[in-house]
């Protein structure tokens, strides 16, 4: 991957006004809306994504000018840095993401725990969940 990209689907999205979302917008370049095949679950006041299946999850794609620095603090925010005890709630992995220009590989924070007791976010959009 020539330029690192990040797909976000929850509290880091461009339309979310949390402090980490603002920091990401300050450090990275918003490419635009994107989506990934998967299922979105409500964990608490934030979502978790599992990859695969027939459904789409909506989000935003960012280009990362300084990927090492940005992913470093995001790993801490997502509590999946090596300093956090196992099992981690999320893992960072490369996934195929669909954006306006076609498919692109991007880093995604994927939910790494059991989803059996979690509520699914129908429609796959954390910022606009269907009732």
Give residue 58's domain range: 5-113
Q: What is the pLDDT of residues 7-53, one digit of tens each?
A: 999 999 999 999 999 999 999 999 999 999 999 999 999 999 999 99
Is residue 51 in a domain?
yes
Is residue 122 in a domain?
no
Query: What pTM, to 2 d.p., does this model score?
Result: 0.95
CA distance 10 to 125: 8
Q: What is the pLDDT of residue 131?
A: 43
Is residue 30 in a domain?
yes
For 55, half-sphere exposure in the C-beta direction (CA atoms, 13 angstrom radius) is: 15
Q: Supply the DSSP symbol for 121.
A: -
**Which element (helix H / strand E) includes 39?**
strand 29-42
Calculate what percentage of the chain has a pLDDT beyond 70. Answer: 97
Q: With contact defined as beta carbons under 8 Å apart, do 60 and 14 qualify?
A: yes
Is residue 91 in a domain?
yes
Asked if the model's pLDDT at residue 63 lies above 60, the reply is: yes
Asked if the model's pLDDT at residue 75 lies above 70, the reply is: yes
- Please give the biggest Cα pair distance in the chain: 40
The domain total for the chain is 1
Is residue 124 in a domain?
no
CATH code assigned at 31: 3.10.490.10
Is residue 21 in a domain?
yes
Asked if the model's pLDDT at residue 119 lies above 50, the reply is: yes
Is residue 130 in a domain?
no
Specify burial of residue 102 (Cβ count, 10 A radius: 0-12, 13-18, 19+).
exposed
Average pLDDT over the chain reads: 95
Is residue 127 in a domain?
no
């Amino acid at each position: 991957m020539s330029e690192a990209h990040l797909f976000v689907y929850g509290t880091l999205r461009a339309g979310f006004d949390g402090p980490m979302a603002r920091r990401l917008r300050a450090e990275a370049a918003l490419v635009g809306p994107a989506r990934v095949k998967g299922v979105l679950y409500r964990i608490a006041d934030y979502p978790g994504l599992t990859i695969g299946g027939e459904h789409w999850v909506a989000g935003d794609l960012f280009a990362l000018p300084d990927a090492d620095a940005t992913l470093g603090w995001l790993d801490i925010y997502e509590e999946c840095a090596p300093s956090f005890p196992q099992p981690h709630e999320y893992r960072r992995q490369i996934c195929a993401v669909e954006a306006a220009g076609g498919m692109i590989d991007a880093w995604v924070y994927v939910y790494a725990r059991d989803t059996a007791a979690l509520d699914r976010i129908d429609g796959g959009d954390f910022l606009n969940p269907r009732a």
